[in-house]
Amino acid sequence: MSGSKELGRALRGWRDRTAPAAVGLPANGVRRAAGLRREELAQLAGLSVDYVIRLEQGRSTAPSVQVLSALARALRLSTAEREHLYLIAGQLAPSPGQVSAHVPPGVRRLLDQMGGTPLSVYDAAWNLILWNPLWAALFGDPSATRGRERNVAWRHFAGLPSRVGHTPGQRSQFEAALVADLRVASVRYPADAGLRSLVTDLRGTGAEFVRLWDSGVVGVHEAHTKTVRHPDVGTLSLDCDVLTVPGADLRIVAYTAVPGGDDVDRLELLDVIGSQFGEPTR
């Protein structure tokens, strides 16, 4: 069996076995099979339906590493299945010397089961990997963004739009922790070309990143309060916690409201109206 046909067969098999409820989708309408529809897989992976069809039919034979990573996440492949996907697609699976976007099943379940808390998951270079619906409603749906637009450091230092407000002290603390994280990642993953390119381009965003990077400043992410200005429910003051995943170089960012306050009501309202309102910016 040729590589393209084997890839198509594997994708169809993994899609057919993946129940919509397992990936947070409603099982609406009459379904001929229990698994995902092609358009659902395309939505989860951020791909076009036509491209998914071409992959399954063996008419697209050279998917990129980024596409394979997105498919592996959407289909919730195990580590062995993920490596097999890269192999049959003619790509090398990310090595230990590269930043990994693999998300363990337990982290995926966490996002599925904690729907009342805005949660997002980032890799070691602070690239956004996963998010739950309430996070998208709070900060804007990132589905249409690609590449650097999903990187926290790039968005911050390049001055891209954000709904988060910082006091001067919060900004200094945030920048120090972010640059320190990137410096540690660059040492841990010296072979990662994407990370090297990110740092190079960040040095071109302005003097502040260069100063922090060259000074060797050390910072850690601590629990603090962030102000989020939402266009529909107003301003929210939320506690922000950065959690690490044992055995995986990932960061889970959780936003919570103090019980009994107005921000709880605003989050609940946001959970109801979803992310159909407002601009998709973070």
Domains of the chain, residue spans: 3-88, 105-273
Architecture category of domain 105-273 in CATH: 2-Layer Sandwich (3.30)
Q: Quick one: 84 exposed, middle or buried, by C-beta within 10 A (0-12, 13-18, 19+)?
A: middle
Q: Which of 167, 143, 115 is nearest to 45 (CA)?
A: 143
| pLDDT at residue 95, rounded to an integer | 64
Q: Which one has a higher pLDDT value, 30 or 160?
A: 160
CA dist list (Å): 38 to 9, 12, 31, 230: 14, 9, 12, 33
Residues in the chain, how many?
282
Over residues 71-77, mean pLDDT = 88
149-172 pLDDT, tens digit each: 999 999 999 999 999 998 999 999
Burial letters 45-80, b for 16+ CB under 10 A, else e: bbbeeebbebbbebebeebebebbbbbbbbbbbeee
Mean pLDDT of the chain: 87
Q: What pTM does this model have?
A: 0.71
Distance CA 37, CA 55 (A): 14
Q: Which one has a higher pLDDT value, 23 or 94?
A: 23
Question: Amino acid identity of 160?
Answer: L
Cβ atoms of 164 and 230 within 8 Å: the answer is: no
CATH number, domain 3-88, options 3.20.20.140, 1.10.260.40, 3.40.50.10490, 1.50.10.20: 1.10.260.40
Confidence tier at 281 by pLDDT (50, 70, 90) = very low
| pLDDT at residue 14, rounded to an integer | 94
- CA angle 102/106/109 to nearest 5° reads 105
Over residues 86-95, mean pLDDT = 81
Residue 129, both tokens: 């990997």
Distance from the Cα of residue 86 to its chain's centroid: 20
Of 39-53, 213-227, 250-264, the range with the lowest mean pLDDT is 213-227
Cβ atoms of 145 and 137 within 8 Å: the answer is: no
CA dist list (Å): 266 to 164, 165, 240, 263, 279: 16, 17, 16, 5, 18
Phi/psi of residue 251, nearest 5 degrees: -125, 130
Q: Provide long-range contacts, Cβ within 8 A and 24+ apart, for 261-268.
A: 263/236, 263/237, 263/238, 266/230, 266/233, 266/234, 266/236, 267/116, 267/118, 267/134, 267/138, 267/236, 267/238, 268/116
